[in-house]
A and B are shown apart, each in its own frame.
Chain A
Amino acid sequence: MARIAIDPVTRINGQLRVEAELSGGRVRDAWSSGTMFRDMEGVLRGRDPRDVWLLAERICGTCSTVHGLASVRAVERALGIMIPANARVLRNVIAASLLVRDHVLSFYQAQLPDWVDLHSALGADPAATSVLSQKRSGWSKSSSDYFRGIQARLAAEVDAGRPGLFGVGWWGHPAYRLSPEQNLLLIAHLVEALDWQRAFMRIHAVLGGKDPHPQTFLVGGMALASPWGGPSARRTQGHPDVPQRNSPDPLSEEGLNLIDTLFSDASTFVNQVLLPDVQLLAAAYPDWGAIGAGPGNYLAFGEYPLDDSSSPALGLPRGQLAGGNLEQVQSINQGNIGESVVHSWYRGSVNEGARGFLTPASGETSPAFDAQLPLASLDGAGKYTWIKAARYAGVPMETGPLARVLVGYAQGSQETGTALGEVLRALSLGPEVMPSVLGRLLAKAIEATVVVTKARGWLLALRQHLGTGDLAVADISFWDQGSWPPEAAGYSLGEGPRGAVGHWISIRDRLIDRYQVIDASTWNASPRDLNGQRGPIEAALTGVEVADAMQPLELLRVIHSFNPCAACAAHVLNPKGTGPFDLRVRTREGAG
């Protein structure tokens, strides 16, 4: 039996170490370890709730805006603030654009080198690649010359004297199956994806001033101001006319046109490049529809509120599938969310609550690193990660695009059902392949196509709504803290591209008293819990065949299929205990 370690797991955010015990060419057991911790809760405490979102936003720079949004929502719930419709739609547009961008990038930049042999592409025939491209889709960049140029750039990148980013890798590994032309085609699309997203993310820069970390969220709505006189009016200025230099007012006709154009280009890219490429992989690697399933429980908090009620309909579904039942969606009860730190580098609370998972306000928890440095092996280590084990009703849950697609499908969502059905039919695969590495890839591509279409619809609705003369983008009636109760608590449940995100806060004396975050990767990249149940990545790795222990490419495929973010997963420590806050603290009357 051999024990291997992959540290660092590259092409992810944050620092992740994975160890696996191999026996007979298969993984017998696996451990997922986050090796970086920031103590964000420590720095979030004591801050003004109206701007704490700026700091919470810095939990992640790849999924920029996810945590900022979750933070303002938690504060708004604590204070009973309802935001204007325009703000709700703008938030959806921002979140949707991030999701589409992240799905494209996380596939091409993070996952492609696991499936595509870059060095094989150097021997491809550009003319044959051109034929292949034109057969697969109407995407315009498909000439022989174009592929020849990409090939030349690639060759220059990987010359022997200067390996660069792609020089060192497990090229030639037997697990690579694509032809040289298929490899070249996909690599060309990787380069294009990098170019495409640069332009696409101007949506965030236009709406929020910069990207990553646009700044436009407010407790109460958005800081965007409609142009005086409305979107169609010309900007009136009494003073020196400041040249705008191709920088439109975000909510002017020009600004909204720009955003719509970018979404239109995104729709083309996702449908003509991303989806066909994922299908190409699926056709070449169908056996990966039976590898890396994980625990088979799925959690989705839902996202994109579609109306302004206190329990809005959602664009992406909320629900959970557990116990192997993929047809009956159960509701989410926050009280079932908890964390275990038995196997994480924290001192556990003596008063671990119901089911053994930590609840707030009981006992003390603090960092307790007990390993020897340098870390040679996690073998035998009781505690082995900075990531806590998030569990739902004591059960490990996978979260992310696959969870959302399965929950949506089971709930009867028409767009999801249609898109999924078409893709599976074209590949001659049945729905049973979905709980797998391949399923995660397919779900991500499908979700991107569905969301980009929805987002364009929301943008149109926004324009129409602004056209009625309702230009309100923020409700600032709570801005003056004089109206706040002495204590308040709130939370938000939503979805980032990688999966479910929850923020829980309490406010005391107008300052943040406690802050807790459970992120997608706190679910997916979690360690064992106090009952010894493995986290989803650990479970998904178990049983996977590895051809070469020195080059465990297959394990990278499984890990990357979750697109974990080890920065988000391990950052929050509440000195008074972890887990969602005790929401019996009295909130503002009438708050939802």
Chain B
Amino acid sequence: MSEDGLYAALVRRGMSRRSFLQFSAAMAAALALPAAYGPRIARAVEAAPRIPVIWLRGQTCGGNTEALLRSADPSVASMLLDVLSVEYHEYLMAAAGSDTDLARTSAMDRYPNGYLAVVEGAIPTAAGGAYCLVGGRPLTEVAREVCDGALATIAVGSCAFDGGAPAANGGSTGAGGVRQVVTDARLVTLPGCPLNVVNLAATIVHYLALGNLPPTDLGGRPLFAYGALIHNQCERRPHFEFGEFALSWGDEGAQKGWCLYKLGCKGPETMANCPTVRYGDGVSWNVRAGVGCVGCTTPNFWDAMMPAYKRLGSPAPFLPNLTVDQVGIAVVGAVGGAAVLHGAGMTAREHRRNVVARHAEQAAAKRHATAQARHEAELARLAPTAATTPAAATVDQTPVQQAPPVDTEPARPVETEPAPPVEPARVDNRGPVDDQPATDDQPATDDQPATEQPEGR
């Protein structure tokens, strides 16, 4: 392995071999891959060079950068500062003024189509882009330049996803997500307010280990992180099932840790993995701390998911749940020196695996449609005036929680040994956990919603 490589950087940072293997296992779990993928990820990461990154900020509170800095030690995303070679980041870099342009453009020259563009914050288009200037230039221009020349663009946080807070009702700056301005670049979005940085780490490791970006929905959100409802991973789900709700703040139900559905929790309408990967080194997440989910990974959530403490009055906006394999063979070939893995043999296997994966997804679709319909009926029974989630329409393409099957077993649905009833799988940084079961006998897990609306903005 090279001295400039990722593994060498991690070793210099003091990561022990044991920690490294735990990191690899944790990444496998975060990606909802079977435990067997841990060693495979370790091998790929060992061989990987560090990925150059240009990180742009738009109209942002800076929370996603802060999330990056708060990420837990010793494994997972805290390694990003060594995993990535951040060539440009206005909040972190030593250079100032026009020297930053130099840093940015020379990175783009040195790694044509070989660097990752990361965008945090909304990009405003009104007034010729005057609401966000960098080095005197509208961010609209700078973002197009940087993203068009990148290997891929990752939009971190809800503002880069769909405009977020500045784009909410009443905002006047023409704020929008990356896609509003950068139409051609390959884009992965990681909404959340701020994002869960474990998902950023996992997306990058997916790329390092498997040679492509993870499959996403039509909004660009990776399915491994945004493919399942919070409601189906939540540790308070038993209380929901048994009809035990906190009815007001601090009451007996709240003190006993009961379900927060009646205090407005948007878990039943929100796709994310907060209950499993959590925040602060697995210390907590909203519901664990006693407040409901506010739906911050949902399109336009500042309008669609508010008021926070009430149930919705109209159907929640979901994204169409079609799997998009964003990195085809041609792209894998094109990444050239930046790609870390094997070559023609690998890409052919990749292709076959993708085809196989699609078969598996279709096979699972029907099962999930049934489970979803059952779930919605349950919600309706409990709260007849509550918003109905979108009707269970045709779900031909509903994918399972993304878990690439093993090479030698085509067209077999992803299965692991059955887990205990409704035990949510938790990503523990100290080791892999079993996947959620995907059998008919279990209550709905890892669901996709039946249909989703395309994002409006």
Among A14, A61, A246, point to the contact of B283 (Cβ < 8 A): A246
Contact A567 B194 (CB under 8 A): no
Contact B250 A228 (CB under 8 A): no
Q: Report how far A243 CA is from B238 CA in the complex, Å.
A: 13
List A contacts of B390 (CB < 8 A).
none
Q: Report how far A36 CA is from B142 CA in the complex, Å.
A: 14
**23 A-B contacts, Cβ less than 8 Å apart?**
A7-B97, A7-B135, A10-B97, A17-B133, A37-B173, A39-B172, A60-B62, A61-B61, A64-B63, A113-B94, A153-B12, A164-B85, A165-B89, A166-B93, A168-B94, A197-B69, A209-B284, A218-B249, A225-B254, A240-B238, A243-B426, A247-B288, A479-B249
Among A48, A206, A225, A250, point to the contact of B306 (Cβ < 8 A): A48
A498 at the interface (CB under 8 A from B): no
With known contacts A198-B78, A209-B284, A479–B93 Cβ distance under 8 A: no
B4 at the interface (CB under 8 A from A): yes
A72 at the interface (CB under 8 A from B): no
B325 at the interface (CB under 8 A from A): no
List A contacts of B207 (CB < 8 A).
none
With known contacts A43-B170, A473-B250, A61–B194 Cβ distance under 8 A: yes
Contact A216 B250 (CB under 8 A): no
Q: Report how far A36 CA is from B130 CA in the complex, Å.
A: 8
Shortest CB-to-CB span from A44 to chain B, Å, is: 7
A212 at the interface (CB under 8 A from B): yes
Q: Report how far A197 CA is from B70 CA in the complex, Å.
A: 7
Q: Report how far A105 CA is from B249 CA in the complex, Å.
A: 34
List A contacts of B57 (CB < 8 A).
15
Contact A237 B257 (CB under 8 A): yes
- Chain B interfacial residues counted at CB < 8 A: 112
Q: Report how far A153 CA is from B102 CA in the complex, Å.
A: 24
Shortest CB-to-CB span from B147 to chain A, Å, is: 18
B217 at the interface (CB under 8 A from A): no
Contact A38 B248 (CB under 8 A): no
A424 at the interface (CB under 8 A from B): no
A242 at the interface (CB under 8 A from B): yes
Task: Tell which of B274-282, B312-320, B345-353 binds the partner.
Answer: B274-282
Contact A11 B103 (CB under 8 A): no
Contact with B along A467-482 (1 / 0, CB 8 A): 0000111101001000
Contact B3 A156 (CB under 8 A): yes
Among A35, A54, A168, A218, point to the contact of B95 (Cβ < 8 A): A168
Among A47, A61, A228, A473, point to the contact of B62 (Cβ < 8 A): A61
Contact A369 B94 (CB under 8 A): no
List A contacts of B69 (CB < 8 A).
105, 109, 194, 197-198
B330 at the interface (CB under 8 A from A): no
List A contacts of B443 (CB < 8 A).
none
Contact A215 B171 (CB under 8 A): no
Q: Which residues 22-54 in B have Cβ within 8 Å of A in the complex?
A: 50, 52
Contact A373 B70 (CB under 8 A): no
List B contacts of A240 (CB < 8 A).
238, 421-423
Q: Report how far A371 CA is from B309 CA in the complex, Å.
A: 43
Shortest CB-to-CB span from A220 to chain B, Å, is: 7
Shortest CB-to-CB span from A519 to chain B, Å, is: 12
Contact B70 A54 (CB under 8 A): no
Shortest CB-to-CB span from A497 to chain B, Å, is: 13
With known contacts A62-B62, A369-B130, A375-B133, A39–B171 Cβ distance under 8 A: yes
Q: Which residues 293-311 in B have Cβ within 8 Å of A in the complex?
A: 294, 302, 306-309
Shortest CB-to-CB span from A20 to chain B, Å, is: 11
Task: Tell which of B161-169, B181-189, B447-455 binds the partner.
Answer: B161-169
Scoring A37, A161, A166, A227 by chain B CB atoms within 10 A of each residue's CB, the highest score goes to A37
Shortest CB-to-CB span from B160 to chain A, Å, is: 13
Shortest CB-to-CB span from B135 to chain A, Å, is: 5
Shortest CB-to-CB span from B305 to chain A, Å, is: 10
Contact with B along A219-256 (1 / 0, CB 8 A): 01101111110000001110110110111001000000
With known contacts A7-B136, A15-B134, A209-B287, A118–B94 Cβ distance under 8 A: yes
List B contacts of A216 (CB < 8 A).
289-291
List A contacts of B100 (CB < 8 A).
8, 10, 168
With known contacts A10-B90, A43-B171, A61–B288 Cβ distance under 8 A: no
With known contacts A39-B166, A61-B64, A159–B4 Cβ distance under 8 A: yes
Contact with A along B422-451 (1 / 0, CB 8 A): 110010100000000000000000000000
Q: Report how far A201 CA is from B281 CA in the complex, Å.
A: 10
Number of A-B contacts (CB under 8 A): 342
Contact A242 B307 (CB under 8 A): no
Chain B residues within 8 Å of A, Cβ to Cβ: 3-4, 8-9, 12-14, 50, 52, 57-67, 69-73, 78, 81, 85-87, 89-100, 102-103, 110, 122, 127-138, 164-166, 168-173, 175, 193-194, 235-236, 238-239, 242, 244, 246, 248-252, 254-257, 274, 278-291, 294, 302, 306-309, 421-423, 426, 428
With known contacts A224-B290, A225-B250, A240-B422, A373–B133 Cβ distance under 8 A: yes
Chain A residues within 8 Å of B, Cβ to Cβ: 5-15, 17, 35-40, 42-48, 50-51, 54-55, 58-62, 64, 105, 109, 113, 118, 149, 152-153, 156, 159, 161-170, 194-195, 197-199, 201-202, 204-216, 218, 220-221, 223-228, 235-237, 239-240, 242-243, 245-247, 250, 345, 367, 369, 371, 373-376, 386, 471-474, 476, 479, 552, 556, 567
Q: Report how far A552 CA is from B137 CA in the complex, Å.
A: 21
Scoring B95, B100, B136, B287 by chain A CB atoms within 10 A of each residue's CB, the highest score goes to B136
Q: Report how far A220 CA is from B248 CA in the complex, Å.
A: 12
Contact B172 A215 (CB under 8 A): no
Contact B61 A162 (CB under 8 A): no
Contact A163 B103 (CB under 8 A): yes
Contact B91 A10 (CB under 8 A): yes
Return the chain B residue nearest A230 by Cβ.
B255
Shortest CB-to-CB span from B102 to chain A, Å, is: 6
Contact B286 A201 (CB under 8 A): no
Scoring A58, A206, A476 by chain B CB atoms within 10 A of each residue's CB, the highest score goes to A58
Contact A214 B171 (CB under 8 A): no
List A contacts of B14 (CB < 8 A).
149
Contact A60 B289 (CB under 8 A): no
